[in-house]
Structure 1
Amino acid sequence: MGNVAKRPDGKYRARWRDLSGKEHAKHFTKKRDADAWLAIVEGDKLRGQYVDPTDRTTVAQYARRWAAARPHNPRTAKRVDSLIRTHIEGTSIGSRRLVQVLPSDAQAWVTERAQVLSPSTLRLLVSLVRSVYASAQHDRLVGSSPFAARLTMPEAHQERIIPLTVDQVHQLADAMPTRNRAMVLTQAGLGLRIGELLALRLVDVDFLRRTVRVETQIAPGERTRTAPKTSWSRRTVPLPAPVAEALAAHIEGFPPPADGTLFTTRFGKPYRHDYYGTRIFQAAVAAAGLPSSTTPHDLRHHYASILLHAGESVVAVAERLGHKNAKLVLSTYGHLMPDSEERTRKAVENAWRKGGADSARTSARVESRNRRSRRFVRR
């Protein structure tokens, strides 16, 4: 328990010990203020809500501590490190103590970051800082999070995707070097991410069962395989006949090295993202006369659009793409679902026709009963 004692200078010192046994003190002019403070401290300790008011950990320091304790894969760890270094350290909140940041400070920081970040990246950053403060609450370094309040952020306007047509995909494949032609057809026919495409091995392709198993990826800047970012990315994808034929021809023409990598450089090494995407792929885009903004990811959009146009459910499309649920599919590709406007019109028209017919039949029955009732009264 704490205690309050009068000092020689006439002030009152409230003393208490924190949960680790370390002693703290705070001085007050009036004894009742010291007693009230001590009562609050002891109450917080009993409720498990005690926060050390003398802790001087800054937001940036704790963000580093939080990140180091997380089991992030190398790619995520690199992204988190970049966000902390660039957008927390050296900003208006980075050097401040955790307990000093107010909700208004949090909003000011968000507004400041919105000037240099895209809306989607800003949301990732705010989510990170919210996680940092949630952890600080569990560690009893803050009583509440200034980021728990609703923050005003710029809206993210997503441009509508215009997928490549089948003819455009084949034009692109034809414009690729012979060694890379099957890469275009494989990504477009399986809906793979570029990292999944580059990591594809012979053992992943089951020609007999006509399936492809996605088990690994190659991250940007790397040439070694790592596990996919999420468990949902591990999946089995149906192998269409045209893709199987393209892969068989590629394997015959460019036999895989000892590790089974299907798509390699002439030195037998896996491609790096930047080399394949910016040099080989972009050169083919120009040669095929496609928009300069076309990237390998557009082949994934092509795959999703074909499945939706064929009537596949958004749940099935999400599974094929390796997404956790159908929400992202709906938000990204909802406008590509075929005949949705016509289905809406027909649904309302059919319902109203049926409702109108039912209403007419009901009115006729009521009027018939009324006539019978009037005849009975006259008798």
Structure 2
Amino acid sequence: MGDQTMSARIRTRQVGDGTKRYIVLYRRGGRYFPTESLGTFRRLRDAQQRRDLVSGWLAQGINPKAALAELQKPPATIRTFGEWGELSRASRVDLDERTMKNVNSHLLRLNETFAGTDPFDHTPDDWQQWVAANTDLKPSSLKRYLATGKLVLDYAGVDPNPARDPRVKLPPIRRTEPTPPDANQFLAILEHAPRARRLALVMIEQTAMTVGELEQLEWQDVDIAESRFRLRRSTVKAQIRSRARWVQVPNWLMDELVAACPPDDRTPIRRVFPGFTPDVAKAVIARACKAAGIPHFHPHDLRHRRISLWHGQGVPARELAARAGHAKASMSLDTYSHVMPLDEAPEVRLAECLVGTP
């Protein structure tokens, strides 16, 4: 009975120029339902196709107007992985300049494979093949590149995220314990480094500050009377193990710092070590090590050296963590304490290096 009350038909109408128009009409129920139109056509064949389509929808209990509107919707815009990567990067207002630079490098490598692809079509096998094709990267670097890919897919709303699938395996990361420079090696680095950068290198080695902390240090943070630096929360690297703190500076080294900058130049917001960035520090030490003919060291090795010396000199674990800016003493002991000669570089030799030949 229901099929008899629902119907679709074609009505022919002649217009002023003598041509015909074919109107598709339908009713979704008995005579109490209004007659509705679903299109006017110039050709009968087109009207017949629309009528048959409406009849099928009516037989299934579907509202023809709603169904046709759905069909006529423009296709959804499909963004590629490359486009999602740009959107994801633009949203990362939480990243500093250095981290953003790394993200840009990651995206360049990822886009070599995935730029024009639809992330919703990705499979775990696609990402495992990408890992296998990029083993020229160090395992630790490969892990960071993959992490950026995961975040792009998360931002696109891909769920489940194929890059997070447990079947995507990374090469094992084999960590070797850092070997900080001994006193003679550190003096050799200073002797072959530009004189303008030596004070910053000595400051890291004597205080265990990171290059990032030293880079952000301003004269308003220097307490000359108490021979110490204030590391504010805004200048401390945003990690759980880091905390705002005072850093004690040896008196003789504070004297060298004060002598290197005239009083009129010590404006509150002036950087104490202008231009001393992580990249600059890395390049300075690399060139100095090569010129001195000693093993290659990294700026962070100077921090490792100082914390190891403090530990070997009997500084209690809690105080060691406070000096290093670690929330847990285990971090200082497990990561930064190394078996090495407990040889302090003589203050006289360090001072000579600071004023020595450029």
Name the larger-Rg structure. Answer: 2
Q: What pairs up with 1:250-265 in 2 under 5 angstroms?
A: 250-255=257-262, 257-259=265-267, 260-263=270-273
Once the 2 structures are TM-superposed, how far is the Cα of residue 64 of structure 1 from its aligned partner?
1.6
Say yes or no: does 1:149 pair with 2:165.
yes
Say yes or no: does 1:239 pair with 2:260.
no
Supply the RMSD in Å over aligned alpha carbons. Answer: 4.1
Q: TM-score, normalised by structure 1?
A: 0.59
Q: What pairs up with 1:196-215 in 2 under 5 angstroms?
A: 196-215=213-232
> For 1:194, which of 178, 190, 211 is the aligned residue?
211
Residues 133-166 of structure 1 show CA distances to partners (whole Å, capped at 9, x for unaligned) of 23333xxxx3411123212111112222111224
CA contact (8 A) 1:60 1:89 kept: yes
1:124 matched residue in structure 2: 144
- Unaligned segments of structure 1, at least 5 residues: 17-21, 26-52, 217-225, 265-269, 339-379
| Secondary structure of residue in 2 paired with 1:261 | coil
Q: Hey, what's the Cα distance between the residues in 2 that align with 1:121 and 1:13? A: 56
1:291 matched residue in structure 2: 294
- Unaligned segments of structure 2, at least 5 residues: 1-50, 342-358
Q: Hey, what's the Cα distance between the residues in 2 that align with 1:315 and 1:282? A: 33
Once the 2 structures are TM-superposed, how far is the Cα of residue 124 of structure 1 from its aligned partner?
1.0
Q: Hey, what's the Cα distance between the residues in 2 that align with 1:186 and 1:10? A: 82
Once the 2 structures are TM-superposed, how far is the Cα of residue 62 of structure 1 from its aligned partner?
1.4
Q: Hey, what's the Cα distance between the residues in 2 that align with 1:131 and 1:327? A: 31
Moved more, 198-207 or 301-310: 198-207
Residues 200-253 of structure 1 show CA distances to partners (whole Å, capped at 9, x for unaligned) of 33332224444322349xxxxxxxxx9554165553243143xx3123123224
Residues 91-121 of structure 1 show CA distances to partners (whole Å, capped at 9, x for unaligned) of 1x332212211112121122222x2321111
Residues 280-319 of structure 1 show CA distances to partners (whole Å, capped at 9, x for unaligned) of x4565456x4624123322112122123324556676555
2:305 matched residue in structure 1: 302
Cα pair distance change 1:136/1:175, threshold 3 Å:
closer
CA contact (8 A) 2:244 2:325 kept: yes
CA contact (8 A) 1:169 1:185 kept: no
| Secondary structure of residue in 2 paired with 1:147 | helix
2:176 matched residue in structure 1: 159
| Secondary structure of residue in 2 paired with 1:163 | coil
Residues 31-60 of structure 1 show CA distances to partners (whole Å, capped at 9, x for unaligned) of xxxxxxxxxxxxxxxxxxxxxx96622222
Say yes or no: does 1:59 pair with 2:62.
no
Matching residue's letter, 2:271: T
Once the 2 structures are TM-superposed, how far is the Cα of residue 275 of structure 1 from its aligned partner?
5.0
Once the 2 structures are TM-superposed, how far is the Cα of residue 332 of structure 1 from its aligned partner?
3.8
Q: Hey, what's the Cα distance between the residues in 1 that align with 2:318 and 2:90? A: 35
Cα pair distance change 1:197/1:144, threshold 3 Å:
same
Matching residue's letter, 2:162: P
Q: What pairs up with 1:364-375 in 2 under 5 angstroms?
A: none
Q: Hey, what's the Cα distance between the residues in 2 that align with 1:277 and 1:102? A: 39
CA contact (8 A) 1:179 1:254 kept: no
Cα pair distance change 1:240/1:318, threshold 3 Å:
same
Higher relative contact order (CA 8 A, sep 6+): 2
Q: TM-score, normalised by structure 2?
A: 0.62
CA contact (8 A) 2:179 2:338 kept: no
- Identity rate, percent: 23
1:371 matched residue in structure 2: none
Cα pair distance change 1:155/1:187, threshold 3 Å:
same
1:278 matched residue in structure 2: 283
CA contact (8 A) 1:176 1:284 kept: yes
CA contact (8 A) 2:185 2:294 kept: no
